[in-house]
Amino acid sequence: MIISIGNNIRYLRTQHGLSQEDLAEKLGYKSYTTITKWESGVSEPTLKKASEIASFFNLSVNDLCDTDLTNIGTSPTQSSHGAIVNVLGRVAAGIPIEAIENVIDTEEITKDLARTGKFFGLRIRGDSMEPDIHNGDTVIVRQQDDAENDEIVIALVNGNDGVCKRLKKYESSIALVSLNANYEPMYFSQKEIEDKPVRILGKVVELRRKF
């Protein structure tokens, strides 16, 4: 039996509720034309791109290329009852999370967690949150513009890339605190919060570490 990669891609896409435009964006394409060509059999993805597609849908390249997924009944990701979130290499001021294109990985979260809001993953750079969060770890973040005292958040400060810090709230100011004692806390008055600005992007809800 001849396995159609295009049919598998179409099946996975529809099972995850994605349009061709959605999948094209997730894979870094500006147009859905390439997805259309794959699904219609006009062309096939390169091995590198096939690996990326397989990773996005949380299955192996062999499953994508050599298995008729349409006869299995459910996609591999559905069997775990999870939802896929994009892991970003960075977040920056002025760019909505949904519009950021530097997706470097994906992670799966439970459907129960997914129902509580919108999520993204962020790859941590640096050692400011050690010993709890290491350089290269991935944090799962629920998008929200505020958080409770002592919660770990992703924040934007003065237009710089997002930082992962513990939020401390005071009567008329806040502090973004590193867990690593070698880093001084960053204090901001209410005026500085508005002028710089300082903006909370979300609350860290899970930590993922690969060995």
Catalytic residue numbers read 128, 165
Exposed/middle/buried for residue 79 (C-beta within 10 Å: 0-12, 13-18, 19+): exposed
Euclidean distance between CA atoms 101 and 23, whole angstroms: 12
Measured distance between the N- and C-terminal CA atoms of the chain, rounded to whole angstroms: 38
Exposed/middle/buried for residue 81 (C-beta within 10 Å: 0-12, 13-18, 19+): exposed
Phi, psi of 102 (to 5 degrees): -85, 65
